[in-house]
């Protein structure tokens, strides 16, 4: 059984040029599969809003939902570094509220770190959570919770000016003390520069091949989420097609009487069948 990686392991992996592979997961079986496959980290992302609950975005997701799913993932992957994703309005109201909610992830779900979106604008909350002794992962670039201000789910850092703002946010977050940084939907040039410029590990989701590792949403990776496919996604399976075809076959066999067969049935214990036949005679006798 592999030993769970911790902060110093990820720092060493950056130094040694080893890539980190992490995925989202929202339930016990997926977490089990991820740990068995050798994932370095699992993010219980607020993307569960779309992938599990069918919301149009991430903003409706609540702390209680994130906690329940984080608990399930921890049970499924006890030896993997698990990150809880702070949902919308769980850290924006006040630093005190941010600490309270980050603490819930630690106390109730036994996660190893929390992730939250934003750069300079969320520094008070980041400082407060760090002061509470909690590991923090920053997230800049495309930040889905504030995508309305960004004009939708659009790549960031594609102009020199916007790339400069990304670099400034990255440096500010490192100076604040975050332990890792996630870059989402930014050009490879920006991902490479920020990764090389920062001392902390920098990971990408749609940020090119030069970051210290890659994150992807598991529902995209296995072809389960059907609403849309981001440009940066590579599908390694098509679960939606497999499951749909399996259900179609089931429906056809039920309707044609092919299922269930004898091997799918529970039979009475030896010697009980005759007694059963005698018993039902009483119910078949007309009064």
φ/ψ of 228, rounded to 5, equals -160, 165
Q: Which of 128, 214, 127, 204 is nearest to 173 (CA)?
A: 127
Give the C-alpha separation, 99 to 188, whole Å: 33
As to burial, measured by CB atoms within 10 angstroms (0-12 exposed, 13-18 middle, 19+ buried), residue 188 is middle
Give the H or E element holding residue 76.
Answer: helix 63-76
What is the token pair recorded at 124?
A: 């008070």
Residues 6+ apart with CB under 8 A from 54: none
Q: Please check whether residue 79 is in contact with residue 1, taking contact to mean a CB–CB distance below 8 angstroms.
A: yes
Chain centre distance of CA 167: 25
List 18, 117, 168, 184, catalytic entry: 184
Residue 175 annotated in active site:
no
Q: Give the residue numbers annotated as catalytic, written as ranges.
A: 184
């Amino acid at each position: 059984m592999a030993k769970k990686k911790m902060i110093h392991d990820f720092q060493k992996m950056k130094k040694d040029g080893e890539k980190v592979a992490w995925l989202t997961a929202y339930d016990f079986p997926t977490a089990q599969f991820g740990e068995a496959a050798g994932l370095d980290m699992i993010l219980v992302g607020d993307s569960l809003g779309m992938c599990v609950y069918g919301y149009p975005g991430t903003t409706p997701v609540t702390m209680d939902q994130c906690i329940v799913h984080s608990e399930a993932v921890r049970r499924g992957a006890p030896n993997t570094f698990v990150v809880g994703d702070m949902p919308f309005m769980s850290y924006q109201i006040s630093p005190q509220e941010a600490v309270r909610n980050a603490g819930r992830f630690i106390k109730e779900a036994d996660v190893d770190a929390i992730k939250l979106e934003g750069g300079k604008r969320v520094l008070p909350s980041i400082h407060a959570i760090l002061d509470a002794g909690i590991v923090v992962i920053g997230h800049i670039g495309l930040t889905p919770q504030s995508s309305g201000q960004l004009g939708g789910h659009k790549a960031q850092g594609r102009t020199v000016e916007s790339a400069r703002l990304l670099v400034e946010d990255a440096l500010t977050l490192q100076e604040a003390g975050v332990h890792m940084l996630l870059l989402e939907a930014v050009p490879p040039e920006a991902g490479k520069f920020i990764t090389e410029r920062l001392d902390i590990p920098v990971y990408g989701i749609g940020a090119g091949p030069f970051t210290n590792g890659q994150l992807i949403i598991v529902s995209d990776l296995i072809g389960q989420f059907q609403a849309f496919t981001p440009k940066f996604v590579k599908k390694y399976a098509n679960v939606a097609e497999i499951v749909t075809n399996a259900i179609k076959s089931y429906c056809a066999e039920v309707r044609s009487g092919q299922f269930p067969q004898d091997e799918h049935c529970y039979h009475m214990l030896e010697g009980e069948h005759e007694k059963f036949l005698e018993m039902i005679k009483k119910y078949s006798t007309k009064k």
